[in-house]
Structures are given as C-alpha cells and as structure tokens.
C-alpha cells in the first residue's frame, strides 16, 4: 500500500511509495510514443545522472566552503585549524576532487549538447560515480574537520553528510552505473 517514507536525509523532498490499482489512463494522456517507453526512460536516466552529478558537485562545494570557514575560525592548540598542515591538505584534496568531478560533469554536458548520445550514456554513468564518490569523501572530511560539531544537527555539514549518502543509490546504484559503463565500453 502507498505510504510516505521516513528517510535518513533529503528531508526537504517527500518520498512515497505509490500504488495503482485498476488505474486507466485516457489515450490523450499518453506521454511520447506508444511502446517506446523504455527508450524514453533510458534517455531520461542519462539526463538525471548528469543532474545528480551536478548536485554532488554543489553539495561538496558547500561542505568545502563550510570547512574552510570553520578551519579558519576554530582555534586549537594556540592556532587556527588552517595552521595545521594536515587540515590544509585535507582542504586541498577536497578542492581538487571537486574540481575534477566538476570538469567531468561539464564534459558530459558539452558532449550531450553536441549530440554524442552513445558517449553520453557512458560518460553520464562515469560522471555520476565520480561525483558521488567525491561527494561522499568530501562530506566525510567536512564532518571530520568540524570535530564534534560536525556530528551535531545545528551544523550544515551534518545534513550534507546524510544527504550525500543517497547519491550512490538513487538514479541507479553505483554498481549499476558500472554495468552501464561496461556495456558502453563493450565488455
Ligand atoms: C530517497 C530516494 C528517492 C528515490 N526516488 C525515486 C524516484 O523518484 N523514482 C523512482 O523510480 N525511484 C526512486 N528511488 C528508488 C531508487 O532509484 C532505487 O532505490 C535504486 O535504483 C536502487 O534500486 P533498489 O532499491 O531496488 O535496490 P536493489 O536493486 O535491490 O539493489 C540492492 C543492491 O544490490 C546491488 N545490485 C542489484 N542488481 C545488481 C546487479 N545487476 N549487479 C550488481 N549489483 C547489483 C545494487 O547495486 C545495490 O547495492 C528513490 C530512492 C531513494 C532512496
């Protein structure tokens, strides 16, 4: 039966199971061409995956900015966290990973605009996995840089960490993305 689902993150977006029984749809409400639904949904998936990759870049950028601001402000052992090389290097790694995922996501968009459909299917899956892994890692580091506060609801990075966990699952799991890549690469 239909029910609203309680989620780990993404609380701003309601998610529910929908149940249809004896449901008839008038023919004028047909979306697209009859018997071409699978193709339509596959094409939509590639677009959705690029959107999800872009969301990961945005979430990670937010987590990075919060971390830089916090590391500048927080004093420990007589200096700010940015005074410790280990923290600065974490921030440098976060910035580099975000830049790489952003570049790949941008490449998919450029090739989609050029109409390179087959390359886009594989690249969209690669971009989703790359951006997803990057986002999980960056949000994890952001919580770490915030220390105990990173685990608290009042800090944004706690929410970003929970929100980030959806991305290797939603819109096709990480494993299914790899299957898509295998198919496009031909093995
Ligand atoms: C917050 C949220 C919002 C969602 N919104 C929507 C929505 O709007 N519309 C919608 O249609 N769906 C939505 N989903 C569903 C989502 O797309 C699926 O949960 C997701 O695609 C994974 O499918 P599944 O849950 O059936 O997992 P399963 O298919 O049961 O997979 C379980 C595990 O097995 C692995 N696995 C399964 N098959 C293979 C395989 N062939 N090879 C290797 N590993 C495999 C998976 O990678 C995964 O790790 C949403 C899910 C969440 C959590």
> For residues 108 and 86, what is the distance between their CA atoms, to the nearest angstrom?
34
Residue 40 CA, ligand 1 centroid: distance in Å: 19
Which residue from 16, 168, 175 has its CB within 8 A of the most atoms of ligand 1, so it is best to mutate? 175
> For residues 68 and 74, what is the distance between their CA atoms, to the nearest angstrom?
10
β pairing state of 16-17 and 3-4: antiparallel
Residue 170 CA, ligand 1 centroid: distance in Å: 6
> For residues 55 and 60, what is the distance between their CA atoms, to the nearest angstrom?
8
> For residues 145 and 167, what is the distance between their CA atoms, to the nearest angstrom?
22
Report the predicted TM-score, pTM, of the whole model to 2 decimal places. 0.94
Pocket of ligand 1 contains residue 15 by CB under 6 Å: yes
Residues annotated as catalytic (active site), given as ranges? 48
Pocket of ligand 1 contains residue 170 by CB under 6 Å: yes
Query: Tell me, what's the pLDDT at 136?
Result: 98
Query: Tell me, what's the pLDDT at 42?
Result: 85
Query: Tell me, what's the pLDDT at 132?
Result: 98
Pocket of ligand 1 contains residue 142 by CB under 6 Å: no
Residue 7 CA, ligand 1 centroid: distance in Å: 14
What residue owns the CA closest to ligand 1's atom 40?
176
Average pLDDT by consecutive 10-residue portion of the chain (187 residues)?
92 93 93 91 90 98 98 98 98 98 97 87 96 98 98 98 98 97 95
> For residues 109 and 51, what is the distance between their CA atoms, to the nearest angstrom?
10
Pocket of ligand 1 contains residue 180 by CB under 6 Å: no
């Amino acid at each position: 039966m239909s029910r609203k689902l309680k989620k780990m993150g993404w609380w701003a977006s309601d998610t529910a199971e929908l149940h249809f029984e004896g449901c008839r749809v008038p023919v004028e409400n047909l979306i697209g061409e009859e018997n071409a639904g699978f193709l339509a949904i596959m094409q939509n998936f590639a677009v959705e995956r690029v959107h999800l990759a872009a969301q990961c870049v945005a979430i990670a950028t937010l987590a990075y900015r919060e971390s830089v601001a916090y590391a500048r402000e927080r004093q420990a052992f007589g200096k700010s966290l940015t005074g410790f090389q280990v923290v600065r290097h974490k921030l440098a790694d976060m910035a580099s990973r975000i830049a790489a995922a952003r570049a790949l996501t941008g490449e998919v968009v450029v090739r989609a605009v050029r109409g390179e459909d087959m390359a886009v299917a594989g690249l969209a899956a690669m971009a989703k996995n790359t951006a997803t892994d990057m986002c999980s890692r960056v949000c994890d580091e952001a919580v770490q840089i915030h220390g105990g506060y990173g685990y608290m609801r009042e800090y944004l990075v706690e929410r970003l960490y929970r929100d980030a966990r959806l991305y290797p699952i939603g819109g096709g799991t990480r494993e299914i993305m790899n299957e898509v890549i295998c198919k496009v690469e031909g093995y």
